[in-house]
Amino acid sequence: MDIHLLNALGITNCALFKYTDSHELECLTPELPWLSQVVTLDANNNLEKQHIPSIFLDDFFLDANEVWKGCNSFSLSSGFWTEQNGSHLLRLEALAINSESGARYLVVKNVEEQFDEKRRTLQAARELLLSHHEIVGQHEYIRHKLNNVLRKNTRLQKLVPPIQQAIHDLDTGVVILDNDGALVLDNKASHRLLYCNSSTPSSIRISELIKDIGAPPTFLPALVEKKTPWQGELFWQPVDEYKVWLQVTIHPVLQGDQLTHWVYLLTDITHIHGNGEGALIASGMDSLTKVANRNLFIDTVKRSVNEQSAFKLFLIDICGFKKINESLSYQSGDEILKTFALRLQSYVGNNGFIARIGSNEFALVKRSDTFRGHTSEDYAEELIKKLTQTYNVLNGSEPHLGVNVGIANFPSDCNSAESLLQCADIALQAAKYQGRNNVLIYSEALHKQHNASNELERQLRKAIEGNELTLFLQPIVNLATGKIIKCEALARWKTSSGEFIPPDVFIPLAEKSDLIFAFGEWLINEACEAIEAIKAANLDIRLAINISGRQVTDLALLTQIKNALDDHKLSGSSLSIELTESVFVESLDSVSILLNELRDMGITVSIDDFGTGFSSLVYLKKLPIDELKIDRSFVSELEENTEDQAIVQAILSLAHNLNIKIIAEGIETKQQQEFLKSHDCTYGQGYLYQRPVAISEFVSSAKKLR
């Protein structure tokens, strides 16, 4: 429809410019009364790029020109900005458009109505958030006051009447029970919120509430044991005609280790969950955690950059949150996220801006002049301590979170919002690569490492797709007879330029990316071809491959193994699977299913690097494990290190009692071999017997030993 007609009808209020073949911006709506405050037109109604009154629009052209140069359909928004015209303010938004037909346009919109609507929405959201934080703060204040009163007066009858009257008149619902759950005191607000009547007092309603929300029997005893309150939001519908969202605090009052009272605090927050949710989302707030969302966060970073004041950007990632959702339920995951956001907000206070920018990722902007003698690294370390304290959730679990933090500085690291976010993300990814609870600050060295890692990942992807990796085999011998009974398959990578990339570099790189799945499929098929070569030489030798923790949770793994064995007409008894200990800690249920399926196929199972991780008798007793591999770190100094000798003897004794065979890795000397033989170690692996070699060389040497 004609833009002039739309403007005349009041449906829109915008200026339209067409980007011509001569790289001019021709104004198609020069008659707009406010346009002269924003741009200058020549006699042909072309925009004079050298004389643009609006500094903001002039800056926007830097990005707009890139859009118009491109070939793809794209639209870029400037966001809202303000122009002063005497006493009148113009609220404007610019759009650079590259249409599918190849036409290019600049649109400058007068968005005063939208601006006012957004401002009203923001105000509504702000009031909701203030209300929410005020409720949480009020609960904390009342809880502390009642805790002090009850600890001084274990028999509540000694409370002076004014205190009882103050509790009675509170807008917050208060229910106090003794250690047996009998009612001691409540107030009229609790009667209203809990839907009490003459036959159903507040003590009964509290019991119903705890039961209806699905809290297990261990939930309340756990609060007593940990000496900690629980705070959260609950939806409750005790009868059909009454339903309510409640902010609830459950507080055990203790004298030393002895429970004396239970305090329940309740506030109606239905208005926040009902009408407020839409306002929160529209205003840029995350409806779950009640902090800013990604869009509002990016706008805030851009504004901070435009203000040119020094600040620090923190990206905060919760480690392995997907597994928490899967193991505890998504409801418990949401509880943890809300508590996480509250802890983050309470730590930062008014000295920073926080947001939830991903499912399990948060961010913080903090001005550099607010650190008051602390370094950003020290600040983040203290933040991690607070965020990783035990979480209590309604199902009775007490998960311990791991957190990683990446930090970037403005303006020393980057001069734009986009590049600053990229810098912080580079630091975060490097911190995640190191494990859990790490803090890293962006640096040029990290950037180079990041670029090198990306390039190496690209090369590895190409090497896997082009079948450029090679499989080497290392023998595992029976220490009593010297006979090769098994071998371990080890991947080797020599690039097209002749550079040798060690496995301890490219395997973690594959695990960090999705390449581990393609690599795993390659390894399984190559292992089956190696088994064929071994069988063709009439050798009875099993072959072991290492399976990554990420592969364990991949449902396609078992299918890949079955298909590979079928394609090569092999039985599962020719194959052995090695898993590291950390897999059992992180994915015990998944691993249990996997191992039982493997055993049904005749495949044996080994635990690699035993003793270096989370050694546990639980999985040794409950899971179908055939072998343990003692890590080479315990074998390398076995001749003179008495601590290593004691550890090895303990592992051997444990394995014998559980009827599990032991493989000692890294044997390099006769003395190490003799020590292990004398203590009944079953198998050995190491350079004393043979280094990893190509399949043909391994088969040749194994035939000679036979």
CA–CA dist 580, 629 (Å, integer): 10
Contact 423, 442 (CB under 8 A): yes
Q: Which residues pair with 200 in a beta bridge?
A: 197
Torsions phi, psi for 675 (to 5 deg) = -60, -45
HSE-CB at 281 with a 13 A cutoff on CA atoms is 7
DSSP 3-state of 222 = helix
pLDDT at 3: 59
CB atoms within 10 A of CB 393: 23
CB atoms within 10 A of CB 217: 9
pLDDT digits (tens, 9 = 90+) for 195-240: 998 888 999 999 988 887 777 788 888 888 878 888 888 888 888 8
pLDDT at 534: 95
pLDDT at 1: 43
CA–CA dist 332, 293 (Å, integer): 21
Q: Which amino acid is at 354?
A: I
- DSSP codes joined into one string, 494-539: E-TTSPEEPHHHHHHHHHHSTHHHHHHHHHHHHHHHHHHHHHHTT-
pLDDT digits (tens, 9 = 90+) for 424-464: 999 998 888 787 899 999 999 988 888 888 888 889 999 99
CB atoms within 10 A of CB 704: 6
Torsions phi, psi for 92 (to 5 deg) = -130, 160
Quick check: pTM over 0.95? no
In eight-state DSSP terms, residue 416 is: S
Contact 272, 132 (CB under 8 A): yes
Q: Which amino acid is at 638?
A: L
CB atoms within 10 A of CB 11: 10
pLDDT at 539: 93
pLDDT at 290: 78
What are the tokens at 16? 């339209």
527-545 burial, b for 16+ CB within 10 Å, e for fewer? Answer: bbebbeebeeeebebbbbb
pLDDT at 585: 57
Task: Outline where 388-443 has alpha helix (H).
Answer: 417-433
Contacts 24+ apart (CB under 8 A), 94-100: 94/57, 94/60, 94/64, 96/60, 96/63, 96/64, 96/67, 96/68, 97/67, 98/67, 98/68, 98/70, 98/72, 98/73, 98/74, 99/73, 100/73
Regions of the chain short of the pLDDT cut 50: 1, 157, 276, 279, 615
pLDDT at 12: 66
pLDDT at 350: 76
CB atoms within 10 A of CB 428: 25
pLDDT at 684: 95
CA–CA dist 97, 687 (Å, integer): 65
Q: Where are the beta strands (DSSP E) in 376-499?
A: 403-410, 439-441, 470-478, 484-494
Q: Which amino acid is at 597?
A: E
What are the tokens at 670? 């006769």
Contact 571, 604 (CB under 8 A): no
In Å, the largest CA–CA distance within the chain is 101
pLDDT digits (tens, 9 = 90+) for 515-546: 888 999 999 999 999 999 999 999 999 999 99
CA–CA dist 385, 439 (Å, integer): 12
Query: Is beta strand 14-19 parallel, antiparallel or unpaired with respect to 25-27?
Result: antiparallel
In this structure, the dihedral spanned by the alpha carbons of residues 334, 335, 338 and 344, taken in order and rounded to 10 degrees, is -120
Contact 354, 337 (CB under 8 A): no
